[in-house]
Amino acid sequence: MPDDVSLPIAEDFQPRIIAFFCNWCTYTASDLAGTSRMTYAPNTRVIRVMCSGRIDPQFVLAALRKGADGVLLGGCHPGDCHYQAGNYKCLRRFRLLKRLLTQLGIEEERVRLEWIAASEGDRVQKVTNEMVEQIRKLGPLRLEKIPTHPNGEAAPAPAEPMATATEGAVS
């Protein structure tokens, strides 16, 4: 089991959450939350993709492996995809991914998929806050052993929360 639930969760635990948002709906909604000055928890880091269909489940695995405690995915509502059906593809992969995570012993609540339309800045706020609370309850993702690279080479260790800037230089 990669996660030892018996370990206490530090009180000052700041969850590290990576969010993959689609350009047309959720990223725009996230901008709208900003324009509307809706404050929310500072724990998410948004990575923009053109469509939620671009979110390779391996991005999620990589994020968790590199030290994220949770991953949030955001796309357009069903039927509203800018590219017709990318969000459905995302949903399909997401379901499969959740099963995989469970098998790996990672709580499936650490990943969340949400449909957030461009006008729903308030949902970005709500979902982010909920997600942060959720991860706070689960505690840090403690991967006991780092999975090795498919080529046999060891993957880099997850970065420390306050890693210095010079670490992890482009190789």
Partner 1 sequence: MIMEKKSPQEELRIGVYVCHCGANIASKVDVESTRDFAAKLPHVTVARDYKFACSDPGQELIQKDIKELGLNRVVVASCSPQLHEKTFRNACADVGLSPFYVQMANIREHVSWVTEDPELATRKAKSLVAAAVRRLAFAAPLETKRVPVHPDVLIVGGGIAGIHASLILANAGRKVFLVEREPTIGGHMAQFDKTFPTMDCAACILTPKMSDVKNHPNIMMWTYSEVEEVAGFTGNFKVTVRRKARYIKEELCVGCNDCVEACVLKKDRVQVPDEFNVGLSRRKAVYMPFPQSTPACVVIDPEQCLQLMKGKCAQTCVEACERAAIDFDQSDEIVEIDVGAIIIATGYKPFEARRIAEYGYGKFANVYTTLEIERLVNASGPTGGELRLRDGTTPKVAGVIHCVGSRDRRYNPYCSNVCCMGALKMAHLIKERTGAEVFNFYVDMRTAFKGYEEFYDQILSEGVQFVRGRVAEVTDWAMTDEEKGKLVIRVEDTLVGVARRIPVDMVVLAIGLEPQADAGEIQRKFNISCSNEGFFLERHPKLGPVSTFTDGIFLAGACQGPKDIPETVAQAGAAAAEALCLVDKGFVEIEPNTAWIDEEVCSGCKTCIPLCPFKAISRDEEKRIAVINEALCKGCGTCVAACPSGAAQQNLFTDEQIYEEIEGVLSYA
Binding site for partner 1 (CB under 8 A): 14, 16, 18, 24-25, 27-28, 30-31, 33-35, 37-40, 42, 45-51, 53-59, 62-63, 66-68, 79-80, 82-86, 89, 93, 117-120, 125, 149-151, 158-159, 161-163, 165-171
Q: Which is nearer to partner 1, 6 or 23 (CB)?
A: 23
Q: Which is nearer to partner 1, 55 or 106 (CB)?
A: 55
As given in the structure block, the two tokens for residue 84 are 């017709």
Question: How many other CB atoms sit within 10 Å of the CB of residue 3?
Answer: 18
Least Cβ distance, residue 6 to partner 1 (angstroms)? 25
* Cα–Cα distance measured from residue 80 to residue 84, given in angstroms and rounded to the nearest whole number: 7
Q: Which is nearer to partner 1, 6 or 153 (CB)?
A: 153
CA 102 to chain centroid, in Å, comes to: 16
Least Cβ distance, residue 51 to partner 1 (angstroms)? 4
* Cα–Cα distance measured from residue 164 to residue 149, given in angstroms and rounded to the nearest whole number: 24
Residues facing residue 48 across a β-bridge: 21
